[in-house]
Amino acid sequence: MLIDFHTHTFPDKLADKAVLKIAGDASIRHYTEGTNSSLLRSMDRAHVDMSVILPVVTNPSQCKTINKVAKDVTDRYFPRLLSFGGIHPDNEDYREILKDLAESGIKGIKLHSLYQEVAIDDIRNLRIIDCACELGLIVVIHAGKDLSFPGDSADPERISRMLDEVHPEKIVLAHMGSYVRWEEVYDLLCGR
């Protein structure tokens, strides 16, 4: 079975705008329309059996809607599409949100410190990672630089501090541990 573990889609009415903005900010070409149906067509062309969708909550007020969409996508398209949930570090009811995701069958969450403007080793992310792990959720972290943003708030040093504090059991550091910081990944993260 071939699984694409890192995909993004948007509701049909938002997809055009979101894809154009992200592609424009990153100065990259996009290859799908950013919808579930365009992802499925792309999967068929590439002989991908399943894709995991990783939504990013960029504002605490988006959490409820994004997680409803994640549940609906998984209910409608599984086993082809499996959507993780999302949470923002400023969601004060993070325990209830994570518990609801776990109880509803969502397998994990995505954190993106650049889009969310909270460093990965900030206490707000540490408490979310810790709680998610207690609930058996997989935590996917955008690690390293992002083509759309200057700076890096999930670099290997910060990730190492996060690992020292939380000791997560199910964690995925996207982009080979830290995009364009691979020597530091080797020195600070490999084997952890």
On whether residue 3 sits in a domain, the answer given is no
Number of domains in the chain: 2
Query: What digits encode the pLDDT tens for the residues 112-150?
Result: 999 999 999 999 999 999 999 999 999 999 998 887 877
H or E element in which residue 67 lies: helix 63-77
Average pLDDT, stretch 91-105? 98
When comparing pLDDT for 15 and 49, which is higher? 49
Average pLDDT, stretch 29-45? 94
On whether residue 25 sits in a domain, the answer given is yes
Range with the poorest average pLDDT among 10-19, 46-55, 174-183: 10-19
Can you give the pTM of this predicted structure?
Answer: 0.93
pLDDT for 185 beyond 90: yes
- Residue 144: what are its φ and ψ, rounded to 5°? 90, -165
Same domain, 39 and 119: no
On whether residue 1 sits in a domain, the answer given is no
Amino acid at 70: A
Task: Tell me the residue range of the domain where 161 lies.
Answer: 51-188
Q: DSSP assignment, residue 90?
A: T
Asked if residue 131 lies in contact with residue 94, where contact means CB atoms within 8 angstroms, the answer is yes
Measured distance CA(80)–CA(3) in Å, rounded: 9
In sequence order, what are the residues at sequence separation of 6 or more whose Cβ sits closer than 8 angstroms to the Cβ of residue 133?
A: 139, 166, 168, 169, 170, 171
On whether residue 2 sits in a domain, the answer given is no
